[in-house]
Chain A
Amino acid sequence: MDAPRDGACWAFIRGSFELFVYGWYPEPERWRVNLSFLLLVIAIFGVLKDNLPGKKYWLWFAVFFPFIAAWLLVGGFGLVPVGTQKIGGILLTIIVGVTGITFSLPLGILLALGRRSHLPVLRAVCVVFIEFIRGVPLITLLFVASTMLTYFLPPGSSFDLLMRVLIMVTIFAAAYIAEVVRGGLQGLSSGQYEAADALGLTYWKAHRLIILPQALKISIPGIVNTFIGLYKDSVLVLIIGMMDILGLGRARLNDPLWLGLAPELYLFIALFFFLCCFSMARYSLGLEKKLRTGHKQ
């Protein structure tokens, strides 16, 4: 790129837009992707919007959404199966982000409870696990997923690569969520625990009814921050050769027709992530304000 260009050239993005969104997902089946996106929007709406009539059912829908989407995208059970190799672009980015977010929260809560358990062995296992995951970079875990994990499985079986990556990303995020939730648990006054004990509640009942609702409320900003981090980290799958939006974009930069358009590409992708992450951050801020029911200054 010797000569300076006049203005940006967005035809590059427009020309490959479908590829950027769907990856190699077969054209006649793309309605399934669109439907999943739509359901995702509905699920998010159901979780975030307050005072919805029948909020319980919206939440149930959100719990089942990942499974419905997995069925829609991968196929089987009446739908044409589509290999996960064909998933790419923004679709892949969203799959990695949403799966990580959905499954890391319950796992993270369990880990946090385990770390605060009175049972030394359980506690030690959780501490070692959390600190190990938090101590290494995500890309080394992805390398493990892409190179080493097959050695760990019984001979003759193999995992789908996308599945391996999703598991790694979930575990990674769960370790961070665990620390955030632990902070929330520690933030509760011991009076709450004592009160629960005094009521004669079992461990799980006390946590479900008294401890966790309060602890999670305190931890919401931290949890959302972890989610944002996880969503941004989803681009790292490019380093193990998966074609997410960044990977696909860079492969398309190789086309002789579109040489030297790296700035447009990076700006487009940066804006995409900014929109997603900034709205998450704003939502968390609003929630924080609403939940600050305590003493006002």
Chain B
Amino acid sequence: MKDNSSQASNPLTRLWRNQESRGVIIQIITITLLFAIIALIGRNVVINLAALDKEFSFTFLTWPAAYDIGFSPFLEYTSQSTHLKAAAVGLLNTLLVAITGCIFASILGFTLGILRLSKNWLVNRIAYTFVEFMRNVPVLIHILAIYSLIITLMPPVKKALDLGGGQFFISNRGFYMPSPVFEPGAWMVGVAMIVAILSVFLFRRWAKKVQDNTGKIYPVFWISIGIIFGLTGIVFIAAGMPLSWDVPALKGFNFKGGMAIKPEFLALWLALSYYTACFIAEIVRAGILAVSHGQTEASKALGLRNNRVLQLVVIPQALRIIIPPLSSQYLNLTKNSSLAIAIGYMDITATLGGISLMQTGKEMETMILVMGVYLLISLCISGYMNWFNRRIKLTER
């Protein structure tokens, strides 16, 4: 690069050499480029849609969907419902598998992570092999393989396995169990449960205050359990047990009554959970290892028992390291749940981004909605995890 001091007199060059004005110039260029690209895309979209005689509008959401959805546990849905409702069913199904998946993945992941640290060679190796094999195979293959295992290995519905007293059945159409039916008076039990939970909440705060002031420790956990189950149980009996069970029974082609966990849900949930759990296990392991050994030794020197050491010293410190990567695993699980489409679990990608897209030919509108929904879910998860992270952050004094 030649350095011509003669050119420096050129006002444009001078402007470029000045750091601040250069910043402004770069930004102006960025904005111009950005708008040019957006305008170009907008223009192309308009021309292309016009060439195909299509129009961009979301009115199709109010049209009847005309297709059925096999799994809609929360909303009453028929084929006369609108595309909007189909999308809502899909969204709820996505949330269902994401939330249950995150819970199970966390439990499994923490367990595996702690097993990975076990001093028992065999346990350690088994956990290691499991984690390494599972997380190095694409999750889509896990989902397909688990689904294919469930539907080929489980007995067909006519030979469903009775898991106890004609109440629980398992077959390749799903896992059937009795569902609760609330009778008049059930609201009292519900109220009792809420009251119990609130009082546990107050009790814990009080116990903590007592502990801070006097050092006296109550068995908070057991007392909480006692309050919740005790109070709810007493009211339940007093109200005359306003609850009965709808037991599944084989009638015709399928089981009628009760609740069913469909194999599509089961396969997706299992595969997503154990796949994500393998990543969580590594995060947990690294987090615990990162807590310095001196911390453990110090707390033991204070005379704390082993589980108290874990509970009061190691885990709170490890959590600070674990939470940020853990939240991105939750995000991954949620996004991976869109692979449901491969086995026919009706999530938002399969309803709105799948069948609705196909039946209406509105690629642009449906894809914008689907992506918007995922973005919103992602933002909510990261928002919550950030809040949680701030709460447990080290408060430096």
Contact surface of A with B, Cβ cutoff 8 Å: 1, 118-122, 125, 132, 134-140, 143-144, 147-148, 150-155, 228, 232-236, 238-239, 246, 260, 262-263, 266, 269-270, 273-274, 277-278, 281
Residue ID in chain B nearest A93 by CB atoms: B138
Asked whether B44 lies within 8 Å of A232 as measured between CB atoms, the reply is no
Contact code string B340-382 (vs A, CB < 8 Å = 1, else 0) = 0110000001000100010000011001001100110011000
Please tell me if B7 contacts chain A, counting CB pairs below 8 Å.
no
Residue from the list A153, A155, A236 in contact with B51, Cβ < 8 A: A155
Please indicate the chain A residues that have their CB under 8 angstroms from the CB of B23 in the complex.
Answer: 118-119
> Which of B27-35, B76-84, B163-171 is the interface stretch?
B27-35
1/0 per residue, CB under 8 A from A, across B223-248: the answer is: 00000000000000000000000000
Question: Which residues of chain A have C-beta atoms less than 8 A from B336's C-beta?
Answer: 137
> How many contacts A-B (CB < 8 Å)?
120
Docked CA distance A136–B369 (Å):
11
| Segment from B139-147, B190-198, B211-219, B256-264 that makes contact with A | B139-147
A132-B375, A137-B336, A151-B48 known; A274 and B41 CB under 8 Å? no
Chain B residue numbers with a CB within 8 Å of A139 are 338-339, 341, 349
B370 to chain A: which residues have CB within 8 Å? Answer: 140
Sampled A-B contacts (6; CB under 8 Å) = A135-B374, A137-B338, A151-B48, A155-B48, A235-B140, A263-B149
A234 to B137, CA, bound (A): 11
Give how many B residues have a beta carbon under 8 Å from the other chain's beta carbons. Answer: 45
Contact: A148 with B364, CB < 8 Å?
A: yes
Residue of B nearest to A275 (CB): B136
Q: Which residue of A lies closest to B368 (CB)?
A: A148
A125 and B138 in contact (CB under 8 A), knowing A137-B374, A152-B44? no
B residues adjacent to A (C-beta < 8 A): 23, 26-27, 30-31, 34, 41, 44-45, 47-49, 51, 132-133, 136-141, 144-145, 148-149, 152, 331, 335-336, 338-339, 341-342, 349, 353, 357, 363-364, 367, 370-371, 374-375, 378-379
| Of the residues A132, A137, A154, A270, contact of B145 by C-beta under 8 Å | A270
Shortest Cβ gap from A274 to chain B (Å) = 5
- B148 contacts which chain A residues (CB < 8 A)? 262-263, 266
B378 contact set on A, CB distance < 8 A: 134-136
How distant is A167 from chain B, measured CB to nearest CB, in Å? 15
**A228–B332 alpha-carbon span in the complex (Å):** 14
Contacts A119-B23, A136-B375, A140-B371 given; does A154 touch B44 at CB 8 Å: yes
CA distance A125 to B32 in the complex (A): 12
Give A277 to B138 CA distance when docked, in angstroms: 10
Contact call B341/A246, Cβ cutoff below 8 A: no
Interface pairs A-B: 5 shortest CB-CB: A277-B136, A135-B378, A232-B138, A137-B335, A121-B27
B138 with A140: CB separation less than 8 A: no
**Closest-CB distance, B350 to chain A (whole angstroms):** 11
A147, B44: Cβ atoms closer than 8 Å: no
With contacts A122-B30, A125-B30 known, is A239 near B342, CB below 8 A?
A: yes
Enumerate chain A residues within 8 angstroms of B49, measured Cβ to Cβ: 151
Contacts A119-B27, A132-B375, A266-B145 known; list 15 others, CB within 8 Å: A119-B30, A121-B30, A136-B335, A137-B336, A139-B339, A150-B48, A151-B44, A232-B136, A235-B140, A235-B141, A236-B339, A239-B339, A263-B148, A269-B141, A274-B133
A281 to chain B, nearest CB (A): 7
Residue numbers in B under 8 Å from A125 (CB-CB): 30, 34
Task: Give A140 to B374 CA distance when docked, in angstroms.
Answer: 9
* With contact pairs A118-B23, A119-B26, A148-B363 given, residues A278 and B132 touching in the complex (Cβ less than 8 Å): yes
Please tell me if the beta carbons of B341 and A155 are within 8 angstroms of each other in the complex.
no
Residues of chain B with a CB closer than 8 A to A260's CB: 152
Q: Say how far A148's CB is from chain B's closest CB, in angstroms.
A: 6
Bound complex: CA A69 to CA B367 (Å)? 34
Residues of B contacting A228 in the complex (Cβ-Cβ under 8 angstroms): 136
Report Cα–Cα, A140/B94, bound state, in Å: 14
Bound: A132/B48 CA distance, A: 25
Roughly how many angstroms separate A147 CA and B368 CA in the complex, as a whole number?
12
Residues of B within 8 A of A263 (CB): 145, 148-149
B13 to chain A minimum Cβ distance, whole angstroms, is 15
Contact B48 A239 (CB under 8 A): no
Asked if B48 and A278 sit within 8 Å, CB to CB, the answer is: no
Residues of B within 8 A of A155 (CB): 44, 47-48, 51
